[in-house]
Amino acid sequence: MIAGFEFPILLAEIARPHLGVLEQPFAGIGKNDGAGFDHVTAGREVERELGSPDVVIYNASARARGAFVDLAPAEVAQAIAVSAFGGFLVAQQAVQRMLPNKHGAILFTGASASVKGYPQSSSFAMGKFALRGLAQSMARELSPQGIHIAHFVIDGGIRSAARVEPADKPDSMLDPDAIALSYWNVLQQPRSAWTWELELRPWVEKF
């Protein structure tokens, strides 16, 4: 759906296999492989390809699964680096380019784990809690400078070709197009009524 909004898009991927069929519509626009991510170089490449960005969406996340006592510290550090520190690096490069124009928006994708720490999900909770804190701090600092910062709590399972809801539970999963529409609606908010956080969940999701 985002491709249908008809503005230039750059995809920065963390793991190439996860990009899948999304690569083709944006071929030639530019991609950066997260395995060797250099945030400064990436920022310059974006500026060269597309100019200063108007909108940046940080959607990357990672987790180390397992019982707390069994988690490998290096895997936890990597999960936090992707879920939270990567958001800082990307946002810093974007803000440096948005501030001269006093205009732009940076949207962060959170999860249920942004506000609830689940059992055997400590690394994911740490990363998502940190990303939410980053977004809140940035919103308070940068909103008065014309940059809209928003964090989205995606609270529920997301529908996909490989994961659909049972026939007797319609719309019990988040529709990706509906999520994208919510992002778009936040981008359209007048600055007299900005939100810094939006929670999205199916109508039957418990919270």
- Residue 83 belongs to some domain of the structure: yes
- Residue 35 belongs to some domain of the structure: no
pLDDT at position 201, please?
A: 96
Q: Outline where DSSP puts E strands in 36-91.
A: 55-58
- Residue 154 belongs to some domain of the structure: yes
How many Å apart are CA 200 and CA 111, to the nearest integer?
9
pLDDT at position 37, please?
A: 54
How many Å apart are CA 73 and CA 193, to the nearest integer?
42
> Number of structural domains, the chain?
1
Among 137, 163, 6, which Cα is nearest to 129's? Answer: 137
Phi, psi torsion values for 104, nearest 5 degrees: 145, 170
Q: pTM here?
A: 0.82
CATH code of 155's domain:
3.40.50.720
pLDDT at position 45, please?
A: 74
pLDDT at position 35, please?
A: 39
- Residue 142 belongs to some domain of the structure: yes
Q: What range does the domain containing 86 cover?
A: 54-200
Say which residue the tokens 């490449």 belong to: 45
- Residue 58 belongs to some domain of the structure: yes
Ranges under pLDDT 50 in the chain: 14-36
pLDDT at position 44, please?
A: 74
- Residue 139 belongs to some domain of the structure: yes
**CB-based burial label for 193 (10 Å; 0-12, 13-18, 19+):** exposed
